[in-house]
Amino acid sequence: MKIKLKDKDSPISSSSGWCFMNGGFDLAVINSINSGKEVTVDKIPKPAKELVKEVKKQNKKKEGK
């Protein structure tokens, strides 16, 4: 799933220890999220749900003539 930060004024603390990847803690993921990028992650820790939101794919509908 892809996520991004809800508000750039409320970044994720690098000392939070939140693991967004099944492989464990990755500071590069947190830095990417804080920079405003959409980041692919394995999971969203419960406390982080207040700071990030999942980016949903938008289906483009074809308009008929």
Rounded CA separation 47/10 (Å): 13
Residues of the chain with pLDDT under 50: none
At residue 46, the pLDDT reads 95
Q: Is residue 44 part of a domain?
A: yes
Asked if the structure places residue 28 within a domain, the reply is: yes
pLDDT of residue 19: 96
- Answer whether residue 26 is part of any domain: yes
Question: Is residue 18 in a domain?
Answer: yes
Q: Tell me the HSE value of 64 on the side-chain side, using a 13 A CA sphere.
A: 0
- Look at residue 58 in the predicted model and tell me its pLDDT: 74
In a domain, 46, yes or no: yes
Domain limits for position 19: 2-55
- Name 16's Cβ contacts closer than 8 Å, sequence gap at least 6: 30, 47, 48
Check residue 64 and give its pLDDT.
Answer: 59
Number of structural domains, the chain?
1
Q: Is residue 60 part of a domain?
A: no
- Tokens linked to 5: 């930060």
In a domain, 65, yes or no: no
**pTM, entire model:** 0.81
Percentages (nearest 5) of helix, strand, coil residues in the chain: 20, 20, 60
